[in-house]
Chain A
Amino acid sequence: MNINATLIGQSIAFFIFIYMVKQYVWPPLIAAMEERQKRIEAGLLAAERGLSEQAEAEQRAQELISQSKDQAAEIIAIASKQASNMVEEAKDVAVQAADKVKAQATAELEQDKARVRNELQEQVSTLVMQGVNAVLAKEVDGKTHKDMLSKLSQTL
């Protein structure tokens, strides 16, 4: 139990160990621990952010769905209105077309009627002339009567 140079040896060893620990042991370990701490912190933050983002997205989706439902209802209402309008218009057009066709038909009919009447008149007058000719062949001078008859047929 004598105080001797061991004291100095231990002091030197002590300083060397402190230096080596400070240089080669403490920094890598503490750096690794701090790095991991940061990573865990970032991970937790990201997880939290993910959760809130998910909730937000869900809410947005819900909003979108309800919005599109409204839009769809609006579109349906407009479409049905348009459809009924179109039906109305079509009806009008059809009625007009029908009127036009009817008018045309009526006009044609009138023309036909007139033509047929003319033809009939001519045929009747020819028939009459033939009949008259047959009846009055002998008594009536053909020539004079023919003039008379042509005058008559023109008045018809």
Chain B
Amino acid sequence: MSVETITSSEYIKHHLQNLTYGQLDGQWGFAHTAEQAASMGFWSINVDSMFWSLVTGLVFYFVFRSAGKKATTGVPSGFQNFIEIMIEFIDHSVRDSFKHKNKLVAPMALTIFAWIFLMNFMDLIAVDWLPQLAALSVEAMGGDPHAAFFKVVPSTDPNITFGMALSVFILILYYSIKHKGLGGFFAEILFHPFGKWGLPANLLLEGVALISKPISLALRLFGNMYAGEIIFILIAIMYSVGIGFGIFGGLLQVGWALFHILIITLQAFIFMTLTIVYMDMAHDNEH
């Protein structure tokens, strides 16, 4: 196995490197080292993150879509019951925090919660299984297994979390301007909270408040998942030290996985709730 021949540092780096497809020296291809991936610049794509993000998204969509197709108004089956509990939970959260009328918010909250939960859930699959599988299949196809980077948890990729947070931010801006008008939106930033003469201070405070929304959304999710992933990787390193450490590591991994179930759900919930609250603020016309 390739893992046994590399150092811990290499092992960690390997696990934290995305499989990047981009242009290198004028040629399109996969990056073979972290340096190559970095030098590809903005116009490259993390294939593994994107792949698992789409897979989990499609799983979510088709599970809920099949429930929607089979939805009966009579006695619901167990599966429909589960989906309805989810829908009801989301609907309640939206009703509690969102006081305006917008048919987009509840479906968006559902998408965010379920999708982020599933992306986070990839963290609970033992940290080496899928990367090892990818390395083996690359090796079988005659490639270099050391270059087969494969991160399976999309939410440990800042591109994914920022992608979602910035989308939410675009919606915040869109609905703010739609409901307050362009003038109202800028008035809120420029003349609040200190009035006309405190304009620079206002701009600084409100500007930071506005910008911090997507950044905190994205970094909170990314930070939590990234830290969780690193702990899983560190625990996994213990397996190579010896039998005693291996057993201890096994216990640690079970413990951390159990605790992580809480974290992945909580992070999905926080992202969803904050999005709802931000959308509510965007619709508020009171300032």
Residues of chain A whose beta carbon lies under 8 Å from any beta carbon of chain B: 1-11, 13-15, 17-18, 20-22, 24-33, 35-36, 39
In the complex, are the beta carbons of B43 and A5 less than 8 A apart?
yes
**With A24-B68, A32-B71 in contact, is A18–B107 under 8 Å at CB?**
yes
Q: Of B49, B65, B88, which one neighbours A24 at CB under 8 angstroms?
A: B65
Q: Does B253 contact A (CB under 8 A)?
A: no
What residues on A are CB-neighbors of B166 within 8 Å?
A: 7, 11
Q: Does B256 contact A (CB under 8 A)?
A: no
Cα distance A3–B83 in the bound complex, in angstroms? 35
In the complex, are the beta carbons of B158 and A21 less than 8 A apart?
no
Cα distance A28–B84 in the bound complex, in angstroms? 11
Q: Which of B48-72 contact A (CB under 8 A)?
A: 49-50, 53-54, 57, 60-61, 64-65, 67-69, 71-72
Cα distance A11–B169 in the bound complex, in angstroms? 11
In the complex, are the beta carbons of B83 and A8 less than 8 A apart?
no
In the complex, are the beta carbons of B54 and A25 less than 8 A apart?
no
Name the residue on A nearest B43 (C-beta). A5
Pairs A–B under 8 Å by Cβ, sample size 25: A7-B166, A8-B163, A9-B50, A10-B163, A10-B167, A11-B163, A11-B166, A13-B54, A13-B163, A14-B164, A14-B167, A17-B57, A18-B108, A21-B107, A21-B110, A22-B104, A25-B64, A25-B110, A26-B106, A26-B110, A29-B64, A29-B71, A29-B84, A31-B71, A33-B84
What residues on B are CB-neighbors of A26 within 8 Å?
A: 68, 87, 106-107, 110
Q: Of B61, B69, B167, which one neighbours A20 at CB under 8 angstroms?
A: B61
What residues on A are CB-neighbors of B84 within 8 Å?
A: 29, 33
| Smallest CB-CB A-B distances: 9 pairs | A10-B163, A6-B159, A32-B71, A22-B107, A28-B68, A35-B73, A26-B107, A6-B46, A21-B107
Q: Does B111 contact A (CB under 8 A)?
A: yes
Interface size on B, residues (CB 8 A): 54
Distance to closest chain A CB from B117 (angstroms): 14
Q: Of B44, B88, B111, B163, which one neighbours A18 at CB under 8 angstroms?
A: B111
* Chain A interface mostly: helix
Given contact pairs A4-B42, A6-B160, a sample of 12 additional A-B residue pairs in the complex whose CB atoms are under 8 Å apart:
A4-B41, A6-B18, A6-B46, A11-B170, A14-B111, A17-B115, A18-B107, A18-B111, A26-B87, A29-B84, A29-B87, A31-B71
Cα distance A5–B71 in the bound complex, in angstroms? 38
Distance to closest chain A CB from B114 (angstroms): 9
In the complex, are the beta carbons of B159 and A3 less than 8 A apart?
yes
In the complex, are the beta carbons of A4 and B160 less than 8 A apart?
no
What residues on A are CB-neighbors of B41 within 8 Å?
A: 4
Q: Does B91 contact A (CB under 8 A)?
A: yes
Residues of chain B whose beta carbon lies under 8 Å from any beta carbon of chain A: 16, 18, 20, 22, 37-38, 40-46, 49-50, 53-54, 57, 60-61, 64-65, 67-69, 71-74, 76, 83-84, 87-88, 91, 103-104, 106-108, 110-111, 115, 154, 157-160, 162-164, 166-167, 170
Q: Of B46, B73, B162, B167, which one neighbours A32 at CB under 8 angstroms?
A: B73
What residues on B are CB-neighbors of A1 within 8 Å?
A: 16, 18, 157-158
Name the residue on A nearest B86 (C-beta). A29
What residues on B are CB-neighbors of A13 within 8 Å?
A: 50, 53-54, 57, 163
In the complex, are the beta carbons of B44 and A4 less than 8 A apart?
yes
In the complex, are the beta carbons of A4 and B61 less than 8 A apart?
no
In the complex, are the beta carbons of B87 and A30 less than 8 A apart?
yes
In the complex, are the beta carbons of B111 and A21 less than 8 A apart?
yes
In the complex, are the beta carbons of B65 and A25 less than 8 A apart?
yes
Cα distance A1–B22 in the bound complex, in angstroms? 14
* Max count, chain A CB within 10 A of own CB: residue among B41, B46, B154: B46
In the complex, are the beta carbons of B159 and A4 less than 8 A apart?
yes
Distance to closest chain A CB from B28 (angstroms): 13
Name the residue on B nearest A1 (C-beta). B158
